[in-house]
Amino acid sequence: MKQEVPPNIQARVHRMAKRIAYRYYWTGDKAEMARDLAQEGLIGYLRSDETDARGLNRDIRRAMVDHLLIDDGALVQDEAGWRVEPSKLGTLRIPPTLAGVLQSRFDALEAPLRRAAQAAAVIGYVFWDAALAAVEPDAGAALPGLEAKGYVVQRGASTLAGAREYAFKHNLLQQSAYDTLLRAAKVEAHARAGAFWRARADPADAADISAAHVRALAEAHFHGMRADAAVWADWFGSRFFAYYSMFAPLRPLADEVLDACERLHGADDARTATALVNVARLMIQARKGDAGPLLERALDIQRRVLPPDHLDVARTLGVVGAWRAGNGAHREAEREFRAALAIRERVLGPDAPLTVMVRQHLAKSVLELGRLDEAEALMRRALDASARTLGDQDPETASLRVSLADVVSRRGDHEAAEAMQREALAVQERVLSADNPEVDLTRWHLANTLLRQRRLDEADSLATRVLERWERFWPAGHEWTAWGFMLLADIALARGEADRAQGFATKGVETLERLDAIDDDALASALVLQARACVARSTPDEAAAPARRALAIRSRRSRDDDPKLVETRELVASLGAGAPT
């Protein structure tokens, strides 16, 4: 049944209908069109049999609504009328008649302008003269002509340093220009654009990674996957570690690389195994999902298709070890670390940086298992090797010295530990930037050592400064900021400041919960501090819930003889809280 347009909006409907039709065609903003069309009375007019006296053709109107929106489910009619369904606002489909108009307009351009428009279209709706020159060296000279014909516009501010930024006047112009390229020409153009962005995504050092590098990596990924996905996957894998800390923007790229490897190389190829490990590492870093199945599959592939002493096997064993250690399974982690260490010692030698790194991880797991003598021997060997190969003034050597100090402090020699930490800190302050979080991590360790020596004022002051800097560096929260809260809670308990300790412990718990660390030993430690603060405040009833929750976490993660589990079990028993549910 024909729906009449209310008389009071007749003139407005005529104006809006024509504006919406052509604005949609020329901007491709389907979401905006759907919102406009959902207004009362407008749908009925656009689907009516009337011919707009102002020239809006009936067939165009009905195609706009029926074929582009209603058939896609973007506009839905219910008892309340027409409404927009945002999840259905899909990809724009250009009507054939419009495609022909755009094609004719493109064909009318002079040859240099056509080539420039095609090269720009490969880069994207927004493009830069520097990137354009990489795809088509002579295209820059054609930009004034494209501007004069209303094809592109120059933007006032550029998002790429040192380059002028342009955009197609309408995104359908970019799409139509891109569609005129043959497949081989598209591949070659994407390869050139990818090379342009790869050069900007390749930092000299992992510590130099910036937002500009990440943006360039995403652009390089877009073009690399369209030029030669196999080549891109190899390059991406070789640069993965540098970008490891940028796990949030890296994850979707790593997922696409894994899909490409499986499609191009097969499910049982060593390159697919590498891609699996990279995705797993990002899952571990982000605390999202279970990385175990991916690591097991990768290791199974590598053991079948690679020699037993292949360094990729050692790398995967090391990642599996780190994953198990992160889950509190230090006995299993020790096994994986020892297997990785054996391969790297045979292939790379005992002093190679990668060998030293896995020996350090092994020492940390041995330390958590309570074998202090062995942990110290492993850590000293790692430190000596780093000093020989990198030198005493290298940040990696300084980091190993901090790890050794932690072992020494656990053995009760806090003065020796303090001396090592201060020596390492002097190196880091000299060679690293002032706001580098690693420097404050060493200060955090030093504050811990001062706490163990009962130098509470010094420990409190240093820990407070560290936490302030970390909160500025990670305003949304980070595991290290949670460590900062927990250390200050520990110091407050030692000072007899129960209320202050309760506040810091609660902030530590809240920070870790926001990070989804719901089954993490750090969260268990924060909950134990929260329970201890309640006891200190003479509110033992309030201590029962966090203590039981901490015990539940550690019972799932740890062996029965784990020292932290034993300590937590004793706390729960002292509170009469019973077993965790």
Domain edges within the chain? 7-88, 96-181, 244-414, 474-575
User: Which CATH code for domain 96-181?
Assistant: 1.10.10
DSSP code, position 69: I
Is the model's pLDDT at 308 over the cut of 50?
A: yes
What's the confidence (pLDDT) of residue 554?
84
Length of the chain measured in residues: 581
What pLDDT, on the 0 to 100 scale, is given for residue 419? 96
C-beta of residue 112 within 8 angstroms of C-beta of residue 145:
yes
Q: How far apart are CA 515 and CA 477, in angstroms?
A: 8
Give the CA count within 13 Å in the CB-facing half-sphere of 196. 24
- Contact between 62 and 47 (Cβ < 8 Å): yes
Q: 100 pLDDT band (50/70/90 cuts)?
A: low
Question: Is residue 20 pLDDT above 60, yes or no?
Answer: no
Q: Do domains 96-181 and 474-575 have the same CATH topology?
A: no
Check whether 580 has a pLDDT greater than 60.
no
Report the CATH architecture of 244-414. Answer: Alpha Horseshoe (1.25)
The dihedral through the CA atoms of 513, 519, 523, 527 has a sign that is positive
- Reading the block at residue 154, the tokens are 């120059």
Question: Would you say residue 50 has pLDDT above 90?
Answer: no
Closest CA to 528 of 575, 568, 485: 568
* pLDDT of res. 22: 42
Residue 519: pLDDT above 90? no
Expressed in percent and rounded to 5, the helix, strand and coil fractions of the chain are 70, 5, 25
d(CA 426, CA 181): 59
CATH class of 474-575: mainly alpha
Residues 430-436, mean pLDDT to the nearest whole number:
77
